[in-house]
Amino acid sequence: QQQVKQSPQSLIVQKGGISIINCAYENTAFDYFPWYQQFPGKGPALLIAIRPDVSEKKEGRFTISFNKSAKQFSLHIMDSQPGDSATYFCAAGMDSSYKLIFGSGTRLLVRP
């Protein structure tokens, strides 16, 4: 019940295309869903996050779509750029503990 399942494991997209990464969770007590971005040799950094009271959040080219009934959320990267090439992690957390459960990660490669 504590797992967060992430797919795909890897993704190759052409420059200008849309990258889509999906996550699913089981525990309905989760109330915070962030996405972290990690470049090679660096630690992960928060990219964008959403609470379950909204279905979508957009920041620039990055959008989280959230489906509470399906217990799924996804990251959409519009107009993908080579500089977006990185590993992306979804996560889920709950107010009672502030701990995060991370997905297994998606390695994104954006080809020029």
Partner 1 sequence: NAGVTQTPKFQVLKTGQSMTLQCAQDMNHNSMYWYRQDPGMGLRLIYYSASEGTTDKGEVPNGYNVSRLNKREFSLRLESAAPSQTSVYFCAGRQASSYEQYFGPGTRLTVT
Q: Which positions touch partner 1 (CB under 8 A)?
A: 6, 9, 32, 34, 41-46, 49, 89, 93, 98-100, 102-105
Our CB check for partner 1 shows the closer of 17 and 102 to be 102
Token pair belonging to 50: 């959403």
Our CB check for partner 1 shows the closer of 98 and 112 to be 98
We find the least distance from the C-beta atom of residue 16 to partner 1, in angstroms, to be 29
Our CB check for partner 1 shows the closer of 17 and 32 to be 32
Q: d(Cα 110, Cα 15) in Å, to the nearest integer?
A: 6
Check residue 9 and report its DSSP letter. S
